[in-house]
Amino acid sequence: MTAYILRRILYLIPTFFGATFLAFLIIQLAPGDYLTQLELDPKVTPETIARLRAQFGLDRPIYEQYLLWMNNLLHLNLGYSFAFQAPVLEVIWPRVVNSMVIVIPSTLLLYLVAIPIGVYGAVRQYSLGDRILSFLAYIGLSVPSFFLALIAIYVLLQIKFRTGTLIFPVSGMTSSGFEQMPPLRQILDIAWHAVVPVLVATANDIAGLSRLMRGQMLEVLGQDYIRTARAKGLAERVVLYKHAFRNAVIPFVATLGGLLPSLISGAGFVEVVMAWPGITPFFLDAIANQDLYVIAGFLTVSLVLLMIGNLISDLLLAWVDPRIRYE
């Protein structure tokens, strides 16, 4: 087992270099650079732009820029943001933490809700409840999250117009005067702001995951050993949870590794629409501005987490599924 883990880690090294170089190259393939925006400013002279380009190192060949950046990476320095004139980690970290306020509750909620729904749908297949849940799931799957967020804002505003009170805030993470609040009030305030974004961010994923769970469960329930279990007279509850459910969740263990990078990659467009100060709007800005090292640095962190996450999933899989052995 130890040998297997070592071998896996060894494999990660070429993957890491290949992936970072590819990412770096693709960002650079986009036309223009961070300073192109400045070129349409009637006040800025071409000499100034050329000077800044040299200062930022953007006038050097791509491989040279990549090697310099790699050298920094090996010293655990993700690079420097052009737009913020500050180290990348320093500017992205607070956003990642803000995103986690949505991502962590949303992920927990997802598994807590989606798995029981999936199981219910499989056990009571084609019942009225299953049909209603399936219907809702298809709606959830087909409505993009940014649109769901806009609908949520619309509903909140309409309620405000009718009753005069805003049940949940329409945007942001904290209320004004947040700094003056005592710590407990601060936590409650953030929680109050997080309710709608968390629900919106979860809605889509619940739909997908519950359908997947339902399918897995149905497949397992059709297996011979379930019939055997029933035939030997086990209680239905024991059949479902001890024999069927345990086997049906195995594929989900493989997806747990993917949670690690998604922990930092933000909650998606909900953050943009609801003005949540997370990583998504920030990263989109960086892409629009071609803030090279912010994009590359963030991709690298995600990449490393993804690689570690995959390794962990594989190990977990071996642990829960006796059919899988690594030698």
Partner 1 sequence: MRRALVWMAGLIALAGVASAQTFVWPQKWTVAKPSEVKRGGTLRAAVISDYRTFNPFITAEADSVPDLISGDRGLVRRDPTTGDWIPYMAESWTISPNKLEITFKIRRGMKWSDGKPITADDWIMTWRIHTDKAVGSNLYDTFFIDGKPITLRKIDDYTIRFIYPKTDADAFAVASFAPWPAHIFGPVYQKEGAEGIKKMWTLNEKPENIVSGGPWLIESYRPGERLVLKRNPAFGEWNKDEAGNPLPYLDRYEIKIVKDVNAQLAEFLAGNIDLFAPATVDHISQVRQAIQQGRLDATLKVNASPVASSQFMVFNWNKASDPFKQSLFRSDKFRRAMSHLVNRQAVIDIVYGGLGTPMYSSVYPVLTQWVNPKVPKYEYNPKQAAKLLAELGFTKKDKDGFLVDRQGRRLEFNLATNAGNNQREQIAKIFVDEAKKVGVKVNFQAIDFNTLVGQLLSSGPDRPFDAIIIGLSGGSLDWPFGPNVVPCKGNLHMWNKSGQCLDPRETQLDALYSRGRTELDFKKRVEIGYRMQEIEAQLLPVIYIAGPNYHPAWNNRLGGEHPDAIISSIWGQRELELTFIKK
Summarize as ranges the residues that interact with partner 1 (CB under 8 A).
Answer: 30-33, 36, 38-46, 48, 51-52, 55, 83-86, 90-91, 94-95, 98, 150, 153, 156-157, 160-161, 166, 169-174, 176, 178-179, 272-275, 277-278, 281-282, 285, 290
Residue nearer to partner 1 on the CB measure, 173 or 201: 173
Q: HSE-up of 229 (CA within 13 Å, CB side)?
A: 18
Identity of residue 28: Q
Cβ of residue 186: shortest distance to partner 1, in angstroms?
A: 11
Cβ of residue 209: shortest distance to partner 1, in angstroms?
A: 27
Q: Cβ-count burial of 180 within 10 angstroms (0-12 exposed, 13-18 middle, 19+ buried)?
A: exposed
Cβ of residue 207: shortest distance to partner 1, in angstroms?
A: 24
Residue nearer to partner 1 on the CB measure, 35 or 137: 35
User: What are the b/e assignments for 228-252, b being 16+ CB within 10 Å?
Assistant: ebeeeeeeeeebbeebbbebbbbeb
Nearest Cα to Cα of residue 297 among 309, 307, 312, 287: 287
Nearest Cα to Cα of residue 303 among 40, 9, 17: 17
Contact (Cβ atoms closer than 8 angstroms) between residue 258 and residue 6: no
Residue nearer to partner 1 on the CB measure, 125 or 186: 186
Cβ of residue 298: shortest distance to partner 1, in angstroms?
A: 14
Cβ of residue 134: shortest distance to partner 1, in angstroms?
A: 32
Residue nearer to partner 1 on the CB measure, 16 or 178: 178
Residue nearer to partner 1 on the CB measure, 84 or 252: 84
The three-class DSSP label of residue 80 is: strand
Cβ of residue 234: shortest distance to partner 1, in angstroms?
A: 54
291: which residues sit within 8 A by CB, 6+ positions away?
Answer: 34, 81, 82, 83, 285
Cβ of residue 53: shortest distance to partner 1, in angstroms?
A: 11
Give strand pairing partners of 80.
87
Residue nearer to partner 1 on the CB measure, 177 or 233: 177
Contact (Cβ atoms closer than 8 angstroms) between residue 313 and residue 254: yes
Residue nearer to partner 1 on the CB measure, 121 or 297: 297
